[in-house]
Structure 1
Amino acid sequence: MLVERSLETQVSQAVDAWLTWLPRWEPSTHRGRVAPCRRCFGSPVLSAAGLGADVPHGVQHGLSTRVKTIVDRSVAEYTALNLPMLQAELDQQAARNRARSYRPTEGLEPEFEGLPLDPDPVPGAPFLFTISGLAEAADADIPALPPLTDEAKAALRQEVGLADDYANMVGREVCTILLHHRLRIQAAIGEYVEPQIEAMLEELTRSLDVPFDPHDPPAG
């Protein structure tokens, strides 16, 4: 019961933080991405929260990232207590990451975590450099982790499976808890998001109805 109450508190705090951020959200004006967000597309978390495909991705991402942090933290605690091989592997990877000279994905706000580091390329306009390219160059300077024996690989795969099972269990519990927050989530969408979307649609409708300035002189 302590774990359940702890999860309920964490989810409530995550929703509170998202609701505090939501009034600052504004629709994006840049070109949309072709590939869907792997974190948000088809997410059961967003379904439980009542954030469907009609809700802008930026709004979805801010909540899904905060909830993912809760699941990740729970799995990390479980791993530290029960899965020594996986924990040792994660510790080595963490040490390797800390040795990198350039870590652009660290310290981001939840609204930006997990998003691509660079915009989609424009045909005929190549980048002089990319953030992801700089990060890969820094990563290449760090020695690779030592190889594992076949027995160690098998044992590690088993522990990874246990961690995945635990993550799925926590995820289901989190989704159940989120159902109790749907009303205030929906109320916030109606107050802060829908008016901005409606305003954009009205502006688009006006620009389509009047594709040129009526004060311009007639052509010809």
Structure 2
Amino acid sequence: MDRSLDTRVSQAVDAWLEWLPRWRPSTHRGRTRLCRRCFGSPVMAAVGLDRDVPHTVQHGLSTRIKAIVDEVVDEYTERNLPLLQRELKAAEESKARSYRPDRGLEPEYDGLPVDPDPVPGEPYLFTLAGLAGQEVAEPEAVPAPLSEEEKSALRTEIRLADECAIHAGKLVCLAIAPHRERILAAVALYVEPQIEALLADLTLELDSPPSW
């Protein structure tokens, strides 16, 4: 296994373990949509966090690991896939000209919705997602359209990038598996007692008769 990848995974787990003691159960409304980054993730399955664990606990780790996979794919693309690299650079430059409220978020929040779910009868004056979706003026210089040969080559490069991502995903699963024991130990120490306390409070409220 690539030692540098093994080291990056270990550092990501260390960073997540440093954050976990600060985790607190959410008090706002729950999510109405499944998180594609965490739900069914083989990484979560590899470390035993694929069930009976709060989503925010999963998300903080899965986001860090996904960032490693993204780095591997970016490095591979920059070295070997010039057409795809050019298209991605152009897309990034276009995004940089617009407002992006999700830019610079901590790993625990990266990829999550930037706005809460709407409440019926309580409209927003504005939403961050709405601001991000506003059209911006495009530059005057329009890149020349791709030729048929370039389109075919680009499709090939996209396929290669996808294969690289799949391979990197398998490698990070292998790299993170040895950390399973300390990950589950940290969850048992910092997460499970808070969940049990919440359940105890809920049981007490349900058992207590109304005061009126």
TM range (shorter): over 0.9
Partner of 2:120: 123
Matches for 1:1-220 after TM superposition, within 5 Å? 4-100=2-98, 102-137=99-134, 140-143=135-138, 146=143, 147-213=145-211, 216=212
Structure 2: tracts of 5 or more residues without a match? none
Q: Which amino acid aligns with 1:132?
A: A
Question: Once the 2 structures are TM-superposed, how far is the Cα of residue 211 of structure 1 from its aligned partner?
Answer: 4.1
Q: Which amino acid aligns with 2:45?
A: S
Deviation at 1:103, TM superposition (A): 2.0
Q: Write the deviation string for residues 80-104 of structure 1: whole angstroms up to 9, x where unpaired.
A: 000000000111112222222x221
Distance 1:189 1:74, change over 3 A: same
Q: TM-score, normalised by structure 2?
A: 0.94
In 2, distance between residues paired with 1:87 and 1:155? Answer: 12
Partner secondary structure for residue 162 of structure 2: helix
Q: Between the two proteins, what is the percent identity of the paired residues?
A: 60
1:79 partner letter:
T
Q: After superposition, give the CA deviation of every residue in 1:5-47 in whole Å (9 maximum; x if it has no partner).
A: 0011000000000000000000001010111111111111111
The superposition leaves residues 176-200 of structure 1 with CA deviations (integer Å, 9 ceiling, x where unpaired) of 1111000000000000000000000
- Count of aligned positions: 209
Q: TM-score, normalised by structure 1?
A: 0.91
Q: Any conservation in 2 of the 1:79–1:87 contact (CA below 8 Å)? A: yes
Counterpart contact for 2:6–2:175, Cα < 8 Å: yes
The unaligned stretches of length 5 or more in structure 1 are none
Preserved CA contact (<8 Å) 1:45 1:175? yes
CA contact (8 A) 2:115 2:128 kept: yes
Deviations 1:153-196 (A, max 9, x none): 22211111100100100110100111100000000000000000
Q: Is the 8 A contact 2:16 2:61 kept in 1?
A: yes
Asked if 2 retains the 8 angstrom alpha-carbon contact of 1:18 and 1:62, the reply is: yes
1:151 shift after superposition: 3.2
- Please tell me the residue identity of whatever aligns with 1:128: L
Q: What's the offset of the Cα at 1:53?
A: 2.2
Shift, 1:79, TM fit: 0.3
Q: 1:148 to 1:142 in 2, by over 3 A?
A: farther
Change in Cα spacing, 1:142 to 1:114, as seen in structure 2 (3 Å) is: farther
